[in-house]
Amino acid sequence: MVIDWDDRSPVEAVSGQSLVPVIDDDGRVVSDSTRIFGYLEERYPDPPLYPSDPARRAETEIFIDWFNEVWKRSPNAIDEELEKNAHPAAIATESKRMAVRMSLFEDMLTGRNYLMGDRVSAADFAAFPFLKYAALPVDPSDDEPFHRVLADHQPLRKGHSSLRDWIERIDALPRA
């Protein structure tokens, strides 16, 4: 179910909080994307969302934590600045950070199809909903300013072909 950005009542009714994503698996309600990955891994271990090797699993968890706690700060800061129309210099600084990080994702995909290796993992599912705006068109009916920030501040350069291919690869995965 897709939730209207301005009407969180269905999310609140089911989960007692207002943020998405939330899953309701036959009455088992889990919110927060990282907790949802953990729930799915435990309840439906095949196919796995995390590598079985403990070191690779730790790397995957660290990447997701970095993505949520560090990477997301820049688009959120730009979104807030645009709303207040306060500091263009702050927007430029965060925009530069986002542009530089595009090369990090490109480099992570060197010689492998997914962010953490040759198998799709929770890392890909954590990053894709944000990075996809670099290559996929924004739905014309989508007037969510945060999505515009993601489309406007993630420049896909000529050399970012692995990242472009990854976005298309993840987008082509079957959906529930």
Binding interface with ligand GSH (CB under 6 A): 18-21, 32-34, 68
Q: Which CB, 35 or 43, lies closer to ligand GSH?
A: 35
Q: Which CB, 82 or 113, lies closer to ligand GSH?
A: 82
CB of 80 to ligand GSH, least distance (A): 11
CB of 60 to ligand GSH, least distance (A): 15
Is 129 within 8 Å of 109 (Cβ atoms)? no
3-state secondary structure 20-77: CCEEEECCEEEECHHHHHHHHHHHCCCCCCCCCCHHHHHHHHHHHHHHHHHHCHHHHH
CB of 89 to ligand GSH, least distance (A): 25
Biggest CA–CA distance in the chain, Å, is 48
Q: Which CB, 3 or 90, lies closer to ligand GSH?
A: 3
CA distance 53 to 25: 28
CB of 10 to ligand GSH, least distance (A): 12
Q: Which CB, 32 or 41, lies closer to ligand GSH?
A: 32
